[in-house]
Structure 1
Amino acid sequence: MYQPYIRGKQFELIGIRDLTTTVLSPNKEKVSPIIEPVKDSSTLKTTLKELVSNDVNFTIIANPQVGSFRDIDSIFSAIKSSVGNSENYQVGIIFHNKIVHTKAIEILQKYSDVIPQLTIIHNSTFDNILDILKLYQEFFVIKYNVINLSATSKRYHRNFDENTRIELDDYFNSQSKNSDYLQVDESNFSEEHIYYKEEGFVGFADYLSIGEEYSETGFLPYAVAIHLSYADESNKIKIKHFVSDNNDDTSDIAGKFAEALDKLIAWCDQTNYTSVAIPIFREYHKNGHFPGLGTLKKLSLMNHIDLVLKLI
């Protein structure tokens, strides 16, 4: 089971929506996206509706820790308006170090009619975690315990029913500037899709080829970088970084994209690599079209999910 962790910015949501019929639905037994909504938007609602209409399981987080979408009433209003009569989803709760569990349960009970089951995202450790979970389980079924490996202790996952354990980590090797990727070319990502069952999990989650770091606002970069996941000869996931060359200022972003895209297409031609995203990149290359930086992130996301689902 693969659970891609999506921050609900516009282009990430569009990427999930665009994958639903072609990639997610045919693989519905092995994929369940986690969506942390960051903004109350029509794109969020249409994405949830698309998942529901194609019977693709997902988790929608009710207490996001990033972004501006923090009003619990509005979040549940978005859920109610999107899911219809479906029960093939989970409401997610992030366990962070400032959460007041009695208050969280009280709020969840208020909306119990649209909570078929829960996903708990463990972003902090609690010594009495089993007692805490019992409080939630008095009212709700916990389907998944998603354990953030970088935020919990080494054996923390042993506290949870093995049939609910999902491992989560950030495997993207982020650089401070896009131009720094010129020195990297490619980086290791993960091999969790190979070993997660051996390590006692029923699934694994990652922040895709985007990374966990979240920024509310965008800015014009000096360099344009396209991050493309692929599998090496051992089926380990790596990421190629295709970067523009003329990076002295923030002018001519379209030209910088063309430079990065030239490198991507040449590599795909050389290796015969393809995915759901590559024909779209090829169309932009053929037409000399720059679709905007948000679309690059969307295509990177689509490529990554497509790749992982092929590997498992």
Structure 2
Amino acid sequence: LLELRNKNINFNIIINPSVGDLKNSSGTVLDVIQEQLNGFSNYQIAIIVNEKTNVPEMLNILRERDIEFAGITLIHEAVTNVSAIIDFTDDFSFIINVIYFQKTSRRYNREFDRNTWVGLEDFFITQLKNVDYLAVEDSQFSEEHLYYQQDGFKGFSDFLTIGDNYSETGFLPYAVAIHLSYADNDNKIRIKHFVSDSNDDASDIGGKFAEALEKLVTWCEENNIPDTIAILQFKELYRTGHFPGLGSIKKLSIMHHIELVLNLI
């Protein structure tokens, strides 16, 4: 948060996460906002909206707090009483309605002002195990950046290269997979999957990473993939033979995807 504030980058912060340590802890999230963002307002308060969300209560909690923010973002996972939500949010000057297509009806977005529409979809095709990506290698992802404006939307969003899946605990995998998004000849986004070869057990994770990383670097160079900050870091890891940990690999994949999309829009 502090880095985003220092760079004056607009962002959304969800105050009612549905998974993780902060689930059902909106008060804790708001405490952090008050502590770290006091005097800063270039962000939106985001609320996940589904049948269990008490929107009036959430908005009243916000009104009771001395918090400055630019507006409200509602992330819709479908509700029945849409008119009530519209009524309760009328007094906020800036509203974004993020419509999660796979969890809402086909015309759900039409209930809201079209100037507030942002699409959300999970494009990442998840395999059961990392080793299963060996049979896939390359998969389609998204073309939303090409058509979202024609469809009447103000923005689009996705779940990066991880998908809408959440796991409370990690485990050592038999295979290491690195997911790298790229633009094809039609500027549509696809995902390349680079998987280790020695996948019989969970030993030598660093060695498995090296196998997958070599495939990634070779493919990038053979296909003249433009360098991003993340690709440069992948190449440096390949040069030094360093294994940064599985979490860092996922972060680099996410970093690259964000930079790719920014370069395409």
Residue 146 in 1 paired to residue 95 in 2? no
- Once the two structures are overlaid, the 10-residue window that deviates more, 250-259 or 115-124, is 115-124
In the TM superposition, residue 208 of structure 1 has moved relative to its aligned partner by 0.5
With the length of structure 1 as denominator, give the TM-score of the two structures. Answer: 0.82
Residue pair 1:125, 1:153 contacting (<8 A) in 2 also: no
Give the 3-state SS of the residue equivalent to 2:237 in structure 1.
helix
Question: Residues 85-100 of structure 1: matches in 2 within 5 Å?
Answer: 85-100=39-54
Residue pair 1:225, 1:260 contacting (<8 A) in 2 also: yes
Question: Residues 216-295 of structure 1: matches in 2 within 5 Å?
Answer: 216-273=168-225, 274-295=227-248
Give me the whole-angstrom Cα distance separating, in 2, the residues matched to 1:280 and 1:104: 41
Question: Residues 189-200 of structure 1: matches in 2 within 5 Å?
Answer: 189-200=141-152
Aligned to 1:131: 84
Unpaired stretches in structure 2, ≥5 consecutive residues:
none
Q: CA RMSD in A?
A: 1.2
Question: Residues 1-312 of structure 1: matches in 2 within 5 Å?
Answer: 48-69=1-22, 70-111=24-65, 113-126=67-80, 128-138=81-91, 140-273=92-225, 274-312=227-265
In the TM superposition, residue 101 of structure 1 has moved relative to its aligned partner by 2.7
Give me the whole-angstrom Cα distance separating, in 1, the residues matched to 2:259 and 2:147: 19
Give me the whole-angstrom Cα distance separating, in 1, the residues matched to 2:33 and 2:86: 24
Residue type matched to 1:195 in 2?
Y
Percent identity for Structure 1 against Structure 2: 51
Give the 3-state SS of the residue equivalent to 1:60 in structure 2.
strand
Residue pair 2:117, 2:155 contacting (<8 A) in 1 also: yes
Aligned to 1:6: none
Residue type matched to 2:26 in 1?
I
Residue pair 1:58, 1:89 contacting (<8 A) in 2 also: yes
Residue pair 1:225, 1:242 contacting (<8 A) in 2 also: yes
Give me the whole-angstrom Cα distance separating, in 2, the residues matched to 1:181 and 1:144: 36
Give me the whole-angstrom Cα distance separating, in 1, the residues matched to 2:228 and 2:191: 14
Q: Which has the higher contact order (CA 8 A, sep 6+)?
A: 1
Give me the whole-angstrom Cα distance separating, in 2, the residues matched to 1:54 and 1:123: 31
After superposition, the C-alpha distances for 1:172-193 in whole angstroms (9 at most, x for unaligned) are 0000000000000010000000
Residue type matched to 1:93 in 2?
I
Aligned to 1:5: none
Residue type matched to 2:16 in 1?
N
After superposition, the C-alpha distances for 1:33-71 in whole angstroms (9 at most, x for unaligned) are xxxxxxxxxxxxxxx111111111001011110101132
Which consecutive aligned stretches of 4+ in structure 1 deviate over 4 angstroms post-superposition?
Answer: none
Give me the whole-angstrom Cα distance separating, in 1, the residues matched to 2:59 and 2:229: 41
In the TM superposition, residue 84 of structure 1 has moved relative to its aligned partner by 2.9
In the TM superposition, residue 114 of structure 1 has moved relative to its aligned partner by 3.4
Residue pair 1:120, 1:142 contacting (<8 A) in 2 also: no
User: How many residues matched?
Assistant: 263
Give me the whole-angstrom Cα distance separating, in 2, the residues matched to 1:281 and 1:132: 45
After superposition, the C-alpha distances for 1:120-158 in whole angstroms (9 at most, x for unaligned) are 0001232x31332211223x3342100000010111111
With the length of structure 2 as denominator, give the TM-score of the two structures. Answer: 0.96
Give me the whole-angstrom Cα distance separating, in 2, the residues matched to 1:49 and 1:147: 28
After superposition, the C-alpha distances for 1:148-171 in whole angstroms (9 at most, x for unaligned) are 000101111111112211000100
After superposition, the C-alpha distances for 1:213-262 in whole angstroms (9 at most, x for unaligned) are 11121110000000000000000000000000110110000000000001
Residue pair 1:125, 1:151 contacting (<8 A) in 2 also: no
Give the 3-state SS of the residue equivalent to 1:114 in structure 2.
coil
Unpaired stretches in structure 1, ≥5 consecutive residues:
1-47
